Structure 1
């Protein structure tokens, strides 16, 4: 260090007393914090899946940095600086984060301003619960904009206002300023996916730049603390040496990190730990409750519709997955384009991927006594608006499937809800036109456990036509010709069993005549069409009678079901295979066919003679036979039966029934469904086993939370758990369910083996009486929807 000289700050000109000037140190601080924020925000790329979020992210950094610098230059107080920063957030947030909701691309609108608020408050929850890449609702893009704006504003403000005041503790304050960019870096990791975006390179660069900056700030603090000037050459050599060391560390660390990085499956991200808010498989199949509408709710006024046109159908739900028991929506993890994939409602609803627009309509629906998660709509919606003056606005809990035209409200469709639907109908070409069109090539979930009789009837009914539309029309016409309509009510001419399972389909075709309602005929048509290789789905809804110019009241008797087949370049064409005839003959399946006999003259009836005129003949055998008496048990047998046998029957029969139910529950969870659902079934089996032992299953808890609760209860009740605890098992199953990778059968088997060991160990440690009581308990866990 050379000789020191006293330094004095240069005086500003008299004409610029109201505006400060920032020195090179301040601008360096701003540049370093900006670079660190950019490195941190790149971690959002896996969640958004594209680089469009960079406009909002870099814009947020620019808006926050400029607001902090301008307020510092004009020496504005903190409250006014905050007001200016908020104003800049809303003014520039519309073109940067929500240009689609802007007026003339750049001017704020009510939708964009509300989205900037909703995104800052609620967008974080959607960012970790919605499926990546994040595209809807529009306010999700506000998350990176708000995060970078806030980080830049706080860190730059502290660097310009608070950091220069430091004397002896300048390094500690500089480290505190780095907290905001570090939090942004961690947020990018937590909100991302299992596939990181150059995590090792970004992490090493972030740490290296931060270390160099801290070392440089430490030297600057020492210079100011002793008020001396340091040889610039010495300072430069020291800084260059430190930079070379850090650059070498960055290079080695980046290379080693790319080679020694842990597998993606071990990466902790929030979306893998949070249960998605809406899984349609958590709810019963809509078609399974068809008979509830036709019987229990036959005359119940479910909802009213204003603006419904004659012949227009009301859609409730579309189903394209069949397991031999019911038609249901597809598991969202199996297909992202099928009936089970739902997304948040945006200001506009995208067009379906396979659709030819026809006429448009607008209707207002008011809910009366309808209660479910499926929202009645018309055709394919283009807009959906709720009347907030008549009740709670459920817009934030609406989920839409644009491919099927199905809408659900996770909070439930409540009484008093009123909403307006703008919809576009599918344009339907003539059969002559469709004869030249091939069915669409779509990958739908396979149908399983289909009876052989359905396949044979499909070939028989389809006939030898050369076109797909003609074969489908033949099947539709055959079902309507040979079948009869019956809802199984007491007023129907013949009984009709509910259900669309394999046994009901066999019963429908094996007995003559065919008897059923829309549930059976729509299911049969879909199975036969799928057998022929045509993409078909079942749609449930309502077909009320419309009175022109008046409000239409929809009751349970208006429920219906139909089928839709996808044609290439056209869309989904509806088919209505349910017959309208209701006069089916009674008992035709059991009454033998009578053949006419030749008429024969019968002799006149003779009066029987009194039996007392006959003299019985006594024989030797008759004398030896004892008189006929009714069989009766001895009294001791009744005593033994009442004391021993009846209690044993009352004990073992329920025990066997419950054991059979548990065995059936286990087999369905272990063998039915995709691999990730079978792995999740292992945890459900564990939770049910612990609940049957008397432990309380926490409601609306994640598997990790439930595992911790089970461990605490087991410790309090002297029940043993595995040495490693239950949390690792919960994490293994969460990984199989949520990490998005292919789940092997060995992984599923390992989850079931560990689950069985945990339940078995708990049962062994329980007392004899507790084990017996657990044998008589039966619980079937059902995943509850997230609020």
Structure 2
């Protein structure tokens, strides 16, 4: 037996299980065990024309499914975000399928694409020139992944194009397009792509608005196209009569659509779609603020009465009613603004103010309202507001414009956080054409309006109105005729007082209105008369509400507290909300008899206590916008604590060294797979396999050969995986110790066989062990790295010590020279 030539490795005879058929990695003959060759199947891209068709349909159907999001955004930038997200997700899925990326590498590609493109699409205001990512834009993209979903639900709609709210449509399109394309091209169940698109539709509808035009038509189109496309795609190699199949699908979808239309027609016409934003607390709830009418008496006192200018008007005619707030809910204590989370549909809700693009052509009033001394959340407005632009320091204030909300049903406008003095509001509005008395008397009340019933109606008020009906000979009526009767009755039988000089109680609670009604001579101001007329009007079936505001003084200019007033509005069929002022003229005051001394004084009688629950008179320093005091909410505190814990956990997760472990393993695998030498590339594949199974818990003996390591794997995993790993060990030994060098193609094929073996091993491993293996340090030579760092640090410390020791003579010489100089200087001083 001759020995091999010097310098040639010894060829070891194969051991272990019998040989299997050769694979592409075995280019030379020999009795070795190898894995079967890769077959064309799942994970391999189909023909280019089918890939293109899939991509077009995923993007098109994804846009249709995301269309409900358009109801909560202004402009069309949300559509750009959805389209770019879908295209980007499909592109990453195609690249991953083309280069056979794993799930982790695909996820990394999505993150990179999100950060690279998201700045220009989702947060262009933070990017340089609207395109190039910056540190601020990247920070918004990372934080916005969590906060954008909450803000899109809590901010008033329609949402603008600033902040992080555009991340929602961008991420929806990105993730939806990626998952749908991956299922189409890399899974055994491509039909699940339709389920993904359906989930995109559900998510978009949940984050949308209560209104969704053509929702049924859009859903039928998506269903029809998706069914035909996915069915044809799965059976495209089968010869069938596709015309008949498509026709049958059209019939089925048409019948389903007809049934849906019929059920929709039978449903409650006043019902609305249920969306997520209906179940979260909105950022602006009018019930968090005092009733505007509660401050009525404070405006009548100094300094707000004549000394302080609340706001000034320009371009608005004298006598125009400037609305501050509309109140249609009475709880027995105050009239208040509705539109909160529990408001009825006819009261509307507060949504972000969106300026009408045709406001310039429609507006009949164009003016400016400049806030000076007024404070509060309610913004003065006129008529039906078409557009309102805040101006600060001579230019439009975009931040303030984003905080303007409006209740379109009542016309009330508010600014979140309160108006800021010095702000000028450019107003474009439409004022209704005034009606004459004869026209009003012929109109009926709008029966379609449903307002919340008042909580309390004083019996004294009901009795007084019934006596007025008898005295004035009112034979009944509704609508405009009833509103005119109530207005005239209060004006004729009542007397006016501002309550400042006279000892007349303030407020408009149930007890105050009862006192107003039971006296033979009712005395009050616009606060009491408007509240009383609206209360009895709702009791008698009128669609009526209270409005508080100011009347522009003659000559315009500054509006002060003396110009405050309140009136009622009644919804009449064909005419809208018509104003009625039931307050008597200011000169119609009650004359008091001359005071005469009482020669027989009566003992003082203790007065009964005041009815609890009456609102106290608003003080001069009352600032509307101060939220009402709330009790401690245990759930809110626990939610805050949980939020802090989650924030800390997120920071800890981002700063965790485990990400360094993942990065090290990724770079190690990448370096092994891209080495230029074919032999090193092939042995690197075996080292990758050995490291991966070591992370999974396989511990071969120290110094074990490839075959011994393979048999250690065979003891842990099923027979098919064991045979594959043993065959790979034989193949690696044959290429390393055999004659010649392997080619690059053979090394690449060996890498593919290693990945196949790893996939089989992972399938037979519990999910929790696979997750733990991702972050395992078993294959990371951290001990050797620590030892190298410690050795290098020791060498540097020793080198620094020697350098410092070498400085000793120099330091001593400098000290001697300094001492000699001191001695010489001392001689001269002597």
Q: 1:272 to 1:581 in 2, by over 3 A?
A: closer
Q: 1:126 to 1:410 in 2, by over 3 A?
A: same
Q: 1:87 to 1:711 in 2, by over 3 A?
A: closer
Alignment correspondent of 1:469: 480
Matched residue of 1:387: which SS? strand
Of 453, 456, 459, which residue of structure 2 is paired with 1:446?
453
Matched residue of 1:480: which SS? helix
Of 702, 705, 710, which residue of structure 1 is paired with 2:639?
705
In the TM superposition, what is the alpha-carbon distance from 1:482 to its structure 2 partner? 2.7
Alignment correspondent of 2:207: 191
- Whether 1:284 and 2:269 are equivalent positions in the alignment is no
Contact 2:383 2:429 in 1 (8 A): yes
Q: 1:271 to 1:84 in 2, by over 3 A?
A: closer
- Whether 1:294 and 2:321 are equivalent positions in the alignment is no
In the TM superposition, what is the alpha-carbon distance from 1:525 to its structure 2 partner? 1.4
- The aligned runs of 1:419-434 (5 Å cut-off) are 419-434=425-440
Q: 1:431 to 1:709 in 2, by over 3 A?
A: same
1:422-445 C-alpha deviation (Å, 9 max, x unpaired):
111111221112222212212111
Q: Alignment RMSD, CA only?
A: 6.4
In the TM superposition, what is the alpha-carbon distance from 1:483 to its structure 2 partner? 2.2
Farther off after superposition, 365-374 or 177-186: 177-186
Distance 2:428 2:119 in 1: 35
TM-score (norm 2): 0.48
1:689-724 C-alpha deviation (Å, 9 max, x unpaired):
x67xxx8965xxxxx715848999xxxxxxxxxxxx
Contact 2:405 2:413 in 1 (8 A): yes
In the TM superposition, what is the alpha-carbon distance from 1:524 to its structure 2 partner? 1.2
Alignment correspondent of 1:347: 355
Matched residue of 1:381: which SS? strand
Distance 2:198 2:455 in 1: 51
- The aligned runs of 1:248-263 (5 Å cut-off) are none
Contact 2:77 2:161 in 1 (8 A): no
Contact 1:382 1:422 in 2 (8 A): yes
Q: 1:124 to 1:510 in 2, by over 3 A?
A: same
In the TM superposition, what is the alpha-carbon distance from 1:541 to its structure 2 partner? 0.1
- The aligned runs of 1:93-112 (5 Å cut-off) are none
Of 564, 569, 574, which residue of structure 1 is paired with 2:569?
564
Of 497, 502, 508, which residue of structure 2 is paired with 1:486?
497
Matched residue of 1:528: which SS? helix
Contact 2:530 2:583 in 1 (8 A): yes
Q: 1:54 to 1:29 in 2, by over 3 A?
A: farther
Would you say how many aligned residue pairs link Structure 1 and Structure 2? 499
In the TM superposition, what is the alpha-carbon distance from 1:528 to its structure 2 partner? 2.5
Of 400, 410, 416, which residue of structure 2 is paired with 1:394?
400
1:49-80 C-alpha deviation (Å, 9 max, x unpaired):
89x9999869954996499889x99xxxx9xx
Structure 1 residue runs of 5 or longer lacking an equivalent are 7-21, 94-116, 164-169, 217-232, 238-267, 352-356, 595-659, 666-683, 699-703, 713-787
Alignment correspondent of 2:387: 383
Matched residue of 2:414: which SS? strand
Contact 1:291 1:498 in 2 (8 A): yes
Q: 1:275 to 1:478 in 2, by over 3 A?
A: closer
Structure 2 residue runs of 5 or longer lacking an equivalent are 1-20, 26-43, 96-109, 125-140, 239-273, 601-610, 615-627, 647-830
1:400-456 C-alpha deviation (Å, 9 max, x unpaired):
122222101112111121110011111122111222221221211111210112112
Matched residue of 1:271: which SS? helix
Q: 1:4 to 1:236 in 2, by over 3 A?
A: farther
Distance 1:285 1:129 in 2: 23
Contact 1:304 1:367 in 2 (8 A): yes
Of 529, 538, 544, which residue of structure 2 is paired with 1:530?
538
Matched residue of 2:442: which SS? coil
Distance 1:340 1:587 in 2: 50
Distance 1:557 1:35 in 2: 66
Q: 1:178 to 1:53 in 2, by over 3 A?
A: farther
In the TM superposition, what is the alpha-carbon distance from 1:345 to its structure 2 partner? 1.1
Contact 1:541 1:559 in 2 (8 A): yes
Contact 1:306 1:365 in 2 (8 A): yes
Matched residue of 2:297: which SS? helix
Alignment correspondent of 2:153: 128
In the TM superposition, what is the alpha-carbon distance from 1:288 to its structure 2 partner? 1.4
Alignment correspondent of 1:508: 516
Matched residue of 1:276: which SS? coil
Distance 1:3 1:710 in 2: 59
- The aligned runs of 1:372-771 (5 Å cut-off) are 372-390=376-394, 393-441=399-447, 442-462=449-469, 463-465=472-474, 467=477, 468-489=479-500, 492=501, 494-547=502-555, 552-579=557-584, 580-581=586-587, 583-586=589-592, 688=631, 698=637, 705-706=639-640, 708=642
Give the greater-gyration-radius structure (CA): 2
Matched residue of 1:560: which SS? strand
In the TM superposition, what is the alpha-carbon distance from 1:377 to its structure 2 partner? 0.9
Contact 1:47 1:193 in 2 (8 A): yes
Q: 1:269 to 1:479 in 2, by over 3 A?
A: closer
Contact 1:458 1:531 in 2 (8 A): no
In the TM superposition, what is the alpha-carbon distance from 1:341 to its structure 2 partner? 1.6
In the TM superposition, what is the alpha-carbon distance from 1:361 to its structure 2 partner? 1.3
In the TM superposition, what is the alpha-carbon distance from 1:37 to its structure 2 partner? 5.6
Contact 2:344 2:451 in 1 (8 A): no
Q: 1:181 to 1:523 in 2, by over 3 A?
A: closer
Q: 1:26 to 1:347 in 2, by over 3 A?
A: farther
- Whether 1:313 and 2:321 are equivalent positions in the alignment is yes
Distance 2:323 2:417 in 1: 19
Alignment correspondent of 1:759: none
Distance 1:313 1:521 in 2: 17
Contact 2:445 2:543 in 1 (8 A): yes
1:313-354 C-alpha deviation (Å, 9 max, x unpaired):
110011111121111123544555434522211131899xxx
Alignment correspondent of 1:10: none
Contact 2:207 2:277 in 1 (8 A): yes
Farther off after superposition, 522-531 or 136-145: 136-145
1:245-265 C-alpha deviation (Å, 9 max, x unpaired):
xxxxxxxxxxxxxxxxxxxxx
TM-score (norm 1): 0.50
